[in-house]
Structures are given as C-alpha cells and as structure tokens.
Structure 1
Amino acid sequence: MADDDTARQGETVRMWTALGGGAELTERITEERAPTVLDRAALPAATVARATVAVCALAAAELAAARGGGPVPRVRVADRAVADAFRSDRLIRLEDRGAVTFAPLSGFWRAADGWVRTHANYPHHRARLLGALGLPEGAGPGELAAALAGRGAAATEEAVYAAGGLAVAVRDRAAWARHPQGVAAARQPLAERRPLAPGAPPLPPSGRAPGYAAAGLRVLDLTRVLAGPVATRTLALLGADVLRLDAPWLPESQEALDDTGLGKRSARLDLATADGRAVFGRLLETADVVVTGYRPGALEALPGMAPGELAARRPGLVVAQLSAWGWSGPWAGRRGFDSLVQAASGVAVAEAGPGAADGTPGALPAQALDHGTGYLLAAAVLRALTRRHRTGEGSLLRLSLARTAHGLLRADAPERAPARDGGGEPLLREAVTAARGTLRYVPSPVEFEGGPRDWSRTPGLWGTDAPRWEGTAG
C-alpha cells in the first residue's frame, strides 16, 4: 500500500506545483480511497483523475481563504465521487433517458495498414468525413468500414482533416513520441501561465458563505464539449455567474448541456459580427474570467478578441484557453476531441487489453482527458484569481488534452494490481427542471470544508437565455 500511496500523492504534488502552488499546501488534502471503474484502465487513470480533482478542490479552498481570511480549509477527495464525476456525461438522466455519447460513424475502423479513429457526432463533422471519403450523405457504418479498409491510416487522417473533418491514425506511444505534434505536446507545461494587464483591485468578500470561493465573479464561457464546460461548471458550483455563449449556427446536444450546464445560463452570440462583438464588449466590462475552447488562432483572428486586447479593456482579467493538440506543432490549429487524442497519443493502444487479439484499440473507462483537463483548467483559473486578488495581475492560461495525455502516459503506476470491480452503483442526485421533467445528475467531486455541495440551478434549454449578466438589463 505504501507504493500506491506514493504514486497517488506524488501525482497530486506534481500537478499542484505545476500550477504554481507550494507543495506544503497539499498536506491539507484528505483522501478516501476505494476501487472504482477507473481502476479497470491499464494506465493509472484513477491516480491521475483523483489528482486533478484534488488540485481543483485545493485551489478553490485557497481562493476561499484568500477572500475570506483564515487558514486554507481542508480538502476531501473521495475516489468513488471522482470516478462518478468522470463519467457524468454517461450517467446523466432526464426522465430516465440516458445520453447518447457516440454516433454510429464515430469509432475505430480498420485501415489498410492499421486503425483509424473517427469522430462524427455533429452533423457537419459527419458530412465532412463522408465527403472526404467520397461517400454519399446517407452512408452508414458498413460503407464507411469498406472505404477505410482500402486506405492507409495516415492518408485518411490527412484527407479528412483537409476536408474539415475529424479522423486520426491510431499510434502507439513510441510513434506519438516521434511525431512532431507528440514532441511539441511533451515540451509544453501542464498548465502554462503568462501575465496579463495588472491594475485590478482585490476581489471583494463573496457576500455568501465563505466556501463560495467564486461568488460575485463573472465568467464568459466560450467552450463546447467537454473539458471547457466541465471547468466552467465547477466555477458555477463555487458561486460564479457563468454565461455560456455559442455561435447561433453551430448545433449543440441538449444532453451534453444537461450534464455540463449545471449552474450556468446559455445564450447565443455571433462573435463574427460587429454587433455580436459589441455585446461581448459590454459583457467584458464587468467580467472576471473568459474561458475559450477555440482552436489556437481562431478567436484571435476576430477584431479585438486576442487575449492581450481583452485584458487591455479589462485589467486583471483571467483568460483561460483550451485546445486539443496544444499551442505549437503542426497540429496546433486542428480540431480534436478526447477520443481522437487517446487514439493518436498511444492511450488507445495501451488500453487495448489482452483480449484484443486482433489488435482492436481500446479506450479509457471514461473520457478522462476531457474531465481531467477540465478540473485542471478550473484549478488554474482559481489559482489565477487568487493571484489577481493578491497582486491585481491578470493571467493568460493555456492547457491542452494532448499535454494531459502525455502526463497520463508518464504517470507513476501503483505497484499493486488494479481492482477490477466497478466500485458500486453511482450516486446520483435529482432535481426538477423547468417544464422538462426530473434530471438525475452526478454531484461534483470538488469538496472542502465549508464549500458548496450542489449547484444553484438546473440547466435550461440551449441558447435560450439573453446574453447579459444576471440581474442586469443588458
């Protein structure tokens, strides 16, 4: 057990110091260990997942202490709560209807020289995938399998990307370590921070119970599935007014919003137009945090939307940026999702398991890159807010799924054999939504003394809120 203790605690300390925290503060963390579904992974997914939640909860406790005075509260991290939270997108229920996590054309497919992983959950991604392969709009899994079987994996990867679709060749970790994007991801810090314009006054007292570390703060959420919304969902738990803004023409899954929209409001705003940016500018005047999930360079291409320009208009602003592949390298500007990063980075090969005699790649028991990066992103934002409170300085933060995958592949594995049971039934809470029925959802695993244990509101319908701060006329 001592070896297991060292591996788990070491990962938490590494993450906390990577976020700029002092290692001594991790002594405030208490662990409750138990076998969970994450222990089924070949890689130390349970260890890494638990560490991401631990540093997030510790960062929340630190900010609560900074705003309220007194010592940093003790943090409690329960393995079963973490495992449930990492599968929240699969466990969400509305009137006992579960979510559909992957579409029929999303998955692993044999190629002429290996395997390919596709992502076609959204209609526009599906259309681009089929178009790149010369398949008709109504093509199904059989036709897709036949088309991919006659093509090389890397050639498919490039052709689908050129068409604006999503597919990657499945690589083992050695091949990814040699790939230029794998090299770039490995060189990046777990959570990069750069200073932005100073000049902000200390944060006011929260005005609520001391544990609501983000109470009174305003967050503009420009993210989509899944890591960014997990981060902003956590900020909403802690009392922030989180306003999610989506482009009007991009479809979104209401099921996904039911999971990650807890505590938030959802509006549509076209930042490609001058009118849309004017509305955004008015929101920015009193914002504290902007979280983006745009591909590197996409938001900066719009007038006035680069991080430095935003910070110049709002000194002390925290701008948190999330990407799939990282901030340098040949794939930096590419779209990506957790499943694709698992496939490209070697995670899927590592998770194939002894039963995959035909070489079929595997997957983690949860979208752990998404969820883990989400909690790390929230932790980085909370630490940046503590810095702003103490110094008035803003921050630019950058995290990526590929860098989280790199950490998972290099994390210390416990010496003991992983438990293979499921860890019991998930604990779900119930709430009645407005006119849509009963929602059953996973509680947040972020827990510390005096901290909140539930969100203040259930999710509404996507894009139906006005693009304004709560309690204001515009």
Structure 2
Amino acid sequence: MTDVVREGALQARLPVRELAHACVDACARAAAELAALRAGLDTVPEVWVDDGAVATAFTSERHLLINGRAPVNFAPLSRFWRTADGWVRTHANYPHHRERLLKVMGPADSLEAAFAERSALEVEDAVYAAGGLAVALRTPEEWAVHEQAVELARRPLVERERLDSAPARGLAPIDGTPLLPAAGLRVLDLTRVIAGPVATRTFALLGADVLRIDPPRMPELPDQHADTGFGKRSATLDLTADRGAFEELLAVADVVVTGYRPGALDRFGLSAEALAERRPGIVVAQLSAWGAYGPWSERRGFDSLVQVATGIAAVEGSLEQPGALPAQALDHGTGYLLAAEVLRAVREQSYDGGSRFVRLALARTAQWLMEGVPDGSAGWLGGLGATGVDTQETAGQGASATYDGPDAWLAEADSGVGRLRYARSPVSFVGGPGDWARPPGPWGADPARWV
C-alpha cells in the first residue's frame, strides 16, 4: 500500500484527516481484495490512498459546478440559532422540514426572537415532535451520559450479521482493464442525502449496476443529486402503488442499501430478515443518523445535527460560538465504510454463503472520531480475512506533502444536467477504475428496471 499524507488536508481539532484516510483505505482494500479474487490474481493489487484525493472527495459537494454555477448546500434556515440558554442547529433544506420548523417557531422573519425566548432542549423537543429537525448543542460530557450515547457505546462501529445459510454465491470471473470488482452486481439504492449515495456511487465506480429508487412525490435536491449520482441511474416508484414492479427489481437484486430511519421501510417488507427470506443470499446494508436502538432510533438526522448533539461542534468551536468539521466527514466516512463492508460481505459469500446484514450510524462514527481514530484503524477495518489469495500488500513507500487545494483531483464532463466539474473518487488500486463510466442524469428520469 502507498500512502500520501498531506499536511493541511481537512484541518481540524479532531483527527478528521485520519478518519477520512482510514475509511477510504478500508474501502479501497476491500475493492482490491474482491478484484483479486474475481480476476484470479495471486496477490492483491496495491492500494493507493492520497490525502489530497480524500480531502477533495470528502468535500465533493463544495467543488461541484453545474454549468459554472456553484451548488446550494444549505438553505438559509439550516444554521445555528441562539437560544435562551445556548444554541440549537436546525436543518431545513427540504421544503417539508422547513414547513414543520416554521409551524413550531413561527414566521421566518421573526425566528431570531422566537429561538431566543426558549431553551435549547425545549426547541429540540418541540421541533422534533412536529416532524422537523433541530438539535441542541451539547458538550462531549453531556452527550456521553445521554441515553442514546450509552446505547451507541455498547455497539461496534460496524454491525455485521449472517442471516441464514444460503449457499455460496458464484461470482463470474473478471478480466480486462480496468478491473471492476463489483461488475455484474445489482444494487438497489434506497438512500438519500450523502452517506448512502456516497456508498452506492462507489459501487457504481467499481462496476455495479446501481439503480436508485425514490418516492415520486419526494424529489431530491438537484445539486445534491448531481454530486452523488455519478455512475447510477435514478427512477421513481411508489412502493405501495407500484409494489409489483418493485418486487421484480428486488427478485434479482444482489445488494439493497437503505438510508431511511430504522424501521421506516419495514411495512414494505424491507427489513433485513424479510429481504433474506424472499431473496436468500442478498446483502442488506442499513444507514441511519442515530442508530437502530435507543430513544432516538426513530429520529431523523443529518451530519450537521449529529455533530451538534455529540459534542463535535463544541470541540471544533466553543459553547459560546459552536463550530463544525471541515467536511461532512460523518456522512462521507460512513459511506465509504458501508461500501467496504458490502464488498467484504460479497467476497465472503463467495466461499461461505449466507445472506449478510451490515449496519452503520453517523452518531457511532462520530463517537469513533471523538475517541481519536486509534492507530491501525485502517488495517483493522480493511483486514477482511482469508480470500484464497495472498493478502500481503505490495510494498509501498509513504510520502508527505502539502495539500494545495483540490484542483489535481477534479474533472469535468458533460451530463444530462449540464457541464459538470466534480471530484474524482479517492478509491484507488492498481488496475482499478479511475473514474465513473457515466455522469449523473436528471433525478427520476430513468426507467425502473435493470440494464
């Protein structure tokens, strides 16, 4: 393995660069090991992790240009607000979240005064009760004794489970250039925002047929979709009215990734257990903000809000002026970890069978960051076990340099939504792909079928 450590990349008080590097390293290792297995190689291709590529990818939404226009990443009401006893952060990028926030707090032109009259916890409880999103600023010590944090601390960073004894998966050999370890896999993408789409665009980079499905009446934010839609197709389906069409997709899917609140899709038969029963041998991956357990398990959440609740915002700033990470690192990092775990599960199925289930939560990734991302994390995350090939890495020399900006890791392409400037994927191994095979198209414009 070859590392390039770049000073100045993702600078923060917390070890954000180390976390980002470890997550991408784990994903690249998993991809290289699966490629070696499917290509019949004697050794695993060397992995290359460059902090410049990593830092650029972890801020990909900021570097995106659409016909020269910069993206809109946060709506005006998605911000910190001073309360009577502290701070809250709100998230109102989607119209329905904005409406629910205003229903509780009053007109937009009087929000400053409305927040100032209430305590932070009072605002948090009231806005969440109305289906909106607002989180009180907490210190790390306050979060550590919170019931949700206690539940998270009992769980590993990545939860893994074998669901049944389905027979081993037969993986077709791959050859040619580039090596595409996920070639032939069908991935059903039921995710939104950043973490899940980052994982699924990585599967697309590696050769999978990725089909994103969204409800027809919940359009994705167009700039967000453009940033995370590379390599994928996008379709809409009503899971009630179009249930037959969805079941046809599911019947031949290899991987299902969900990013909604835990349990929100269970009524459609999309729990891990139900999916394994209908499609033995499937890999199910679930992402959530707060985890699938504890008092906040059914709450919506986003990276910015998790930073505030877990004490990250207080560490990166102060109680008088909260701060933020230099990237939405919980989203991006969790996305690459999920991709690594799915690739690992597919590889393990090739010789050990079984439907597989993996689960991650942004708040658990936040805890890992707060713990300092222990040395050797990348090796632990990427140590994927016996593969039938030599997993000893090709000896690579580490290097040190300075991060001078994103330009070296940006590319341009024409797409169905205009001329794009975008960040390349940081997942790299010898012989692997250097870019996506297709740019994103308009949200919901593709037919709901496999290619």
**Same fold, TM-score > 0.5, yes or no:** yes
Cα displacement string for residues 264-310 of structure 1 (whole angstroms, at most 9, x for unaligned residues): 00000111x1x4222111111211100000111111122x3222121
Inter-CA distance 407–224: structure 2 relative to 1 (3 Å threshold): same
One-letter amino acid matched to 2:305: L
Which of 114, 117, 128 is matched with 1:147 structurally?
114
1:266–1:465: 8 Å Cα contact kept in structure 2?
yes
Which of 162, 170, 183 is matched with 2:150 structurally?
183
Q: Report deviation, 1:425.
A: 4.0
One-letter amino acid matched to 2:225: L
| 1:312 alignment counterpart | 277
Q: Report deviation, 1:320.
A: 0.2
Secondary structure of 2:291 counterpart: coil
2:180 is aligned with 1:212: yes
Inter-CA distance 382–201: structure 2 relative to 1 (3 Å threshold): closer
One-letter amino acid matched to 1:174: E
Q: Report deviation, 1:412.
A: 5.0
| 1:343 alignment counterpart | 308
2:8 is aligned with 1:36: yes
How many Å separate the matches in 2 of 1:413 and 1:206? Answer: 36
Q: Report deviation, 1:208.
A: 4.9
Cα displacement string for residues 198-250 of structure 1 (whole angstroms, at most 9, x for unaligned residues): 12432112365462010111000000001000000000000000000001111
Q: Report deviation, 1:359.
A: 1.0
Q: What does 1:171-320 align with in structure 2 at a 5 Å threshold?
A: 171-197=138-164, 198-206=166-174, 208-209=176-177, 211-271=179-239, 273=240, 275-302=241-268, 304-320=269-285
Secondary structure of 1:34 counterpart: strand
Cα displacement string for residues 355-403 of structure 1 (whole angstroms, at most 9, x for unaligned residues): x6x7110000110000000000100111011111122222111000000
Cα displacement string for residues 110-153 of structure 1 (whole angstroms, at most 9, x for unaligned residues): 111111010000100000011122x13xx24xx21111111011
Which of 332, 338, 348 is matched with 1:387 structurally?
348
| 2:134 alignment counterpart | 167
Which of 417, 420, 429 is matched with 1:439 structurally?
420
The range that moved more, 201-210 or 423-432, is 201-210
One-letter amino acid matched to 1:344: A
The 4+ residue runs of structure 1 with deviation greater than 6 A are none
1:194–1:397: 8 Å Cα contact kept in structure 2?
yes
How many Å separate the matches in 2 of 1:48 and 1:425? Answer: 19
Which of 433, 436, 443 is matched with 1:455 structurally?
436
Inter-CA distance 99–385: structure 2 relative to 1 (3 Å threshold): same
Inter-CA distance 93–210: structure 2 relative to 1 (3 Å threshold): closer
Cα displacement string for residues 148-182 of structure 1 (whole angstroms, at most 9, x for unaligned residues): 11101111111000000000100010000010011
The range that moved more, 193-202 or 152-161, is 193-202
Q: What does 1:127-138 align with in structure 2 at a 5 Å threshold?
A: 127-133=99-105, 135-136=106-107
How many Å separate the matches in 2 of 1:73 and 1:66? Answer: 11
Inter-CA distance 108–385: structure 2 relative to 1 (3 Å threshold): same
Secondary structure of 1:97 counterpart: coil
Which of 14, 18, 21 is matched with 1:50 structurally?
21
The range that moved more, 280-289 or 454-463, is 280-289
Cα displacement string for residues 2-36 of structure 1 (whole angstroms, at most 9, x for unaligned residues): xxxxxxxxxxxxxxxxxxxxxxxxxxx22111123
Cα displacement string for residues 437-473 of structure 1 (whole angstroms, at most 9, x for unaligned residues): 3111000000001110100101000001110001xxx
2:324 is aligned with 1:371: no
| 1:14 alignment counterpart | none
| 1:63 alignment counterpart | 34
1:289–1:317: 8 Å Cα contact kept in structure 2?
yes
| 2:288 alignment counterpart | 323
How many Å separate the matches in 1 of 2:350 and 2:39? Answer: 11
Inter-CA distance 210–444: structure 2 relative to 1 (3 Å threshold): closer
Secondary structure of 2:267 counterpart: coil
How many Å separate the matches in 2 of 1:209 and 1:183? Answer: 48
Q: Percent identity?
A: 58
TM-score (norm 2): 0.91
| 1:87 alignment counterpart | 59
Q: May I ask how many residue pairs the two structures share in their alignment?
A: 424
The range that moved more, 29-38 or 452-461, is 29-38
1:43–1:409: 8 Å Cα contact kept in structure 2?
yes
How many Å separate the matches in 2 of 1:424 and 1:468? Answer: 40
Q: Say which structure, 1 or 2, has more relative contact order (CA 8 Å, 6+ apart).
A: 2
How many Å separate the matches in 2 of 1:411 and 1:166? Answer: 28
One-letter amino acid matched to 1:379: A
| 1:17 alignment counterpart | none
Cα displacement string for residues 296-343 of structure 1 (whole angstroms, at most 9, x for unaligned residues): 1111122x3222121122211000000000111100110000000000
Structure 1 residues not aligned, in runs of 5+:
1-28
How many Å separate the matches in 1 of 2:200 and 2:189? Answer: 7
Cα displacement string for residues 399-445 of structure 1 (whole angstroms, at most 9, x for unaligned residues): 0000000000001589xxxx9x86334331011113x4311100000
How many Å separate the matches in 2 of 1:297 and 1:208? Answer: 42
